[in-house]
Amino acid sequence: MRDPFARPPLRLPAILRALADHGVDWVLSGSTVLAVYGAEVEPNDLDVVPSLEPVNLRRVADLLADLDAIPACFPGWVDGLSARECREWTPEPPTVRGLDHLFVTRLGLLDIPPELTGTYAQLRPGATRFELAGVPVWVCDPEEVLRRLPAEPRPKDQRRAAAYAAVRERLDIDRRPPVS
């Protein structure tokens, strides 16, 4: 049975291959981006920012179904799903709102933030193509990840502060937010 409280380890090569096999059009965001750029962080999940085209959302839904995905349940999360809602979740219909979750899958945690970390349309133009575990992947600009860190750091961000600072220094990224 699918367990919304499970936290399986990330099997990065397998999950990247599954995304490619399903033809999902996406950009990598989150801590894995910083790891690609040399930060000493061990990501707990893979942040996938998908193109919001309906045909692509269908591919994401098919991927989630194939991975027997279920939204992760975190008691106490504001606006989070209950355990019952997580267990009853399906990827149908494949909408932005319905797919916007951190998922528990048989290949590890897969986070699909279609807008929170920047949209595909915002991230893709500045992304760089890398080959990760033998799979071509669009990786967003690390500055996009660093500038979206919350003003009040979460515990995991506090633990990773030195790694984030090293990436900023190595890439000469200014800490100030960009001017709008």
Could you report the per-residue pLDDT of 70-112, keeping only the tens digit for each? Answer: 999 987 777 789 999 999 999 999 999 999 999 999 999 999 9
Q: What is the pLDDT of residue 150?
A: 67
Q: Which CATH class is domain 12-171?
A: alpha beta
**Is 80 exceeded by the pLDDT of residue 126?**
yes
Mean pLDDT in the chain? 89
What residue ranges do the domains of the chain occupy? 12-171
**Is 60 exceeded by the pLDDT of residue 177?**
no
**Whole-number Cα distances in Å, 166 to 34, 42, 121, 150:** 10, 15, 28, 18
